Amino acid sequence: MRILQSKSIANQVDEILLERIRGGVYLPGSRIPSESELSDELGVSRATVRTALAKLAANGFILRKQGDGTYVNEHIHETSAHFGNLWDLAELIAGNGYQPSIRFLSMERRPATEKEALVLALEEGEELICLRRLFYADQQAVILADNVIPFSLLCEPIEKIDGKLHIRDIFEQYFHQKISFVLTDIRSTVLEADAHEFLSGESGRAILQLQTIFYEKNNLPLALGVNIFDDSFLHLSLAQAWN
């Protein structure tokens, strides 16, 4: 059993602060405690707090003003996704104000297609695990999510896989891998037959497709995900800081 390195202190601070912003402890538009106060409260150095705040600022969660303070972005509630979690579908749904849930549809083993082999740096025909899941917003099916992962990466018996887990946790628990970064392609397409079976809306309407490649820290591709959803129901909005 491989040991996964624990998160860095700065990333833990980042998560704590993000949780407070999302949870309403720090309200939109309000000023959050100063760097010194946070470093005292959390028992870490000011440098570490600054590292965490820099990341939050880069992702548009907070605005920093020299000589004044750090403020929570007023428009947080208007954005459904953020740069750290464009591929986090549950958060995308939550960001739209719905209660997310996941329904496991199917899991199968099959050889990789030419395109999949190319993207995942495999030989054509190598075996893949195909995971098909459906994301719900409250009771409404909204996102059809397909993930393909090389079978050779699997560390645990395939029967143990819990199809309702977060993709990040699936990798940690069954593949002993950490996702280091992702590459997402956003496309406009139309609702076709196979997806129409699961998602509501008239066939032929314009929908969004998020095609995501997951990588681990050494640039090795871990998985390919294709997620489609109706953007008239679920909005994809992003905040970004400039400067």
Partner DNA sequence: TTTGCTTTTATGTCAGACAACTTGCATGAA
Partner DNA sequence: TTCATGCAAGTTGTCTGACATAAAAGCAAA
**Residues at the contact surface with DNA, assessed by CB under 7 A:** 5, 8-11, 32, 34-37, 39, 43-48, 50-51, 53, 64-70
Indicate the burial class of 121 (C-beta count within 10 angstroms; 0-12, 13-18, 19 or more): exposed
- Which is nearer to its own copies, 45 or 106 (by Cβ)? 45
- For its own copies, which stretch binds (CB under 8 A), given 91-99, 103-111, 156-164, 175-183? 175-183
Beta carbon nearer to DNA, 17 or 228: 17
Which region among 31-39, 56-64, 120-128, 192-200 touches its own copies (by CB under 8 A)? Answer: 56-64
178 binds its own copies (CB under 8 A): yes
Alpha carbon separation from 220 to 18, 234, 237 (Å, rounded): 29, 31, 29
What does the angle CA 156 – CA 162 – CA 168 come to, to the nearest 5 degrees? Answer: 80
CA distance 32 to 150: 44
**Minimum gap (Å) between residue 82 Cβ and DNA:** 20
Site for its own copies in 75-134 (CB under 8 A): 75, 78-79, 83-84, 86-87
The full DSSP string for 68-103 is TEEEE-TTGGG-SB-TT-TT-HHHHHHHTT--EEEE
Residue in 9, 165, 182, 226 binding its own copies, rule: CB under 8 A:
182
Q: Among residues 187, 227, 189, 190, which one has the least CA distance to residue 205?
A: 190
CA atoms within 13 A on the CB side of 214: 21
The site string for its own copies over 195-214 (x = CB under 8 A, - otherwise) reads -----------xxx------
Distance CA 150, CA 162 (A): 17
Cα(86)–Cα(209) distance, rounded to whole angstroms? 12
Residue 44 binding: pick among DNA, its own copies, none (C-beta 5-8 Å cut-off by kind): DNA
- Asked whether position 175 contacts its own copies by CB under 8 A, the answer is no
Q: Taking the alpha carbons of 146, 152, 158, 162 in that order, is the dihedral positive or negative?
A: negative
29 counts as binding its own copies under rule CB under 8 A:
yes
Quick one: three-class SS letters along 15-31?
HHHHHHHHHCCCCCCCE
Point out which span in 18-26, 126-134, 173-181, 192-200 binds its own copies (CB under 8 A): 173-181
- Give the residues lining the site for its own copies (CB under 8 A): 7, 11, 29, 47, 50-51, 54-55, 58-60, 63, 65, 73-75, 78-79, 83-84, 86-87, 168, 178-190, 206-208, 215, 217, 219, 231, 235-243
